[in-house]
């Protein structure tokens, strides 16, 4: 795939999708700082901690993370990544994370960036992509994943907690990646 790639969102906003680059560190920090506290809590990483974003940047090119960003103008407005183990019994699985800036949600940006990430996962030889979603909190993500042929494989009942201690189910979804016809 050739990057940067232009996409046009539902409301005609033009965005660019490309792999995360080292120069994006400040803009990536700004994206995570702009997310509502509620979204960040359920991401399970403290993404407003500069060290966490620095680790994302440091992982570029090391082989165990594929990271894509979307930009509108010079702002990073979405980040999606596939984490890979590189060794062992789950080496064939990529684990998905995604965040889109609130004001750009429901305009198809998440879908665009995921489609590219899925293709990159296939190019890496992955068989499956796994994503874990909090039921009742990340329902938009569950719906977006379902539309991309992710299916529910398990639910961990009342596994996660809100900051106030309310428990929610964690739903594990998988997408199977099929090789291109040419591989047969
Ligand atoms: C989940 C998320 C990435 C979706 O990104 P997005 O750019 O808004 O998604 P899209 O516009 O491509 O939507 C794709 C589909 O998802 C569903 N969807 C998106 N937002 C929705 C919402 N608020 N409510 C219900 N369904 C929604 C719709 O079915 C939509 O298809 P449609 O456009 O044909 O209606 C975004 O909401 C987000 O960043 N959420 C917070 C972080 C998060 O939950 N991450 C997932 C955990 S890894």
Sequential DSSP letters for 44-92: SS-TTSHHHHHHHHHTTTSSSEEEEEEEETTEEEEEEEEEE--SSTTTT
**111 CB near ligand 1 (under 6 Å):** yes
**135 CB near ligand 1 (under 6 Å):** no
Mean pLDDT, range 2-17, rounded to an integer:
96
Ligand 1: centre distance to CA 144 (Å): 5
* pLDDT (tens digit per residue) in 77-106: 999 999 999 899 999 999 999 999 999 999
Atom of ligand 1 nearest to the CA of 96: 48
Token pair recorded at residue 140:
């938009």
**110 CB near ligand 1 (under 6 Å):** yes
Q: pTM for the whole thing?
A: 0.94
Beta strands 93-100 and 128-134: pairing type? parallel
Q: Which domains does the chain have, with CATH numbers?
A: 5-130 (3.40.630.30)
Is pLDDT at 123 greater than 60 in this prediction? yes
Q: 94-117 b/e with 16+ CB inside 10 Å = b?
A: bbbbbbbbeebeebbbbebbbebb
Mean pLDDT, range 121-150, rounded to an integer:
96
Cβ–Cβ under 8 Å, residues 95 and 64: no
Ligand 1: centre distance to CA 4 (Å): 23
**133 CB near ligand 1 (under 6 Å):** yes
How many residues in the chain?
184
**69 CB near ligand 1 (under 6 Å):** no
- To the nearest 10 degrees (0 to 180), the angle between helices 109-123 and 139-147 is 60
Beta bridge partners of 44: none
For ligand 1, atom 35, which residue shows the shortest CA distance? Answer: 106
């Amino acid at each position: 795939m050739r990057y940067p790639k232009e996409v046009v969102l539902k409301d005609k906003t033009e965005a660019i999708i490309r792999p995360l680059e080292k120069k994006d560190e400040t803009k990536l920090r700004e994206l995570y700082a702009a997310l509502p506290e509620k979204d960040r809590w359920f991401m399970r990483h403290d993404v407003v901690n500069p060290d966490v974003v620095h680790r994302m940047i440091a992982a570029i090119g090391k082989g165990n993370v594929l990271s894509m960003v979307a930009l509108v103008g010079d702002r990073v407005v979405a980040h999606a990544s596939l984490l890979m183990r590189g060794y062992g019994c789950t080496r064939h699985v990529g684990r998905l994370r995604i965040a889109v800036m609130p004001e750009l949600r429901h305009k198809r940006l998440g879908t665009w960036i995921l489609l590219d990430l899925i293709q990159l996962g296939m190019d890496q030889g992955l068989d499956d992509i796994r994503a874990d979603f909090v039921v009742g909190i990340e329902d938009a993500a569950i719906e977006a994943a379902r539309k991309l042929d992710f299916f529910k494989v398990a639910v961990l009942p009342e596994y996660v907690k809100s900051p106030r201690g309310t428990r929610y189910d964690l739903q594990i979804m998988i997408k199977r990646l099929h090789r291109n016809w040419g591989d047969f």
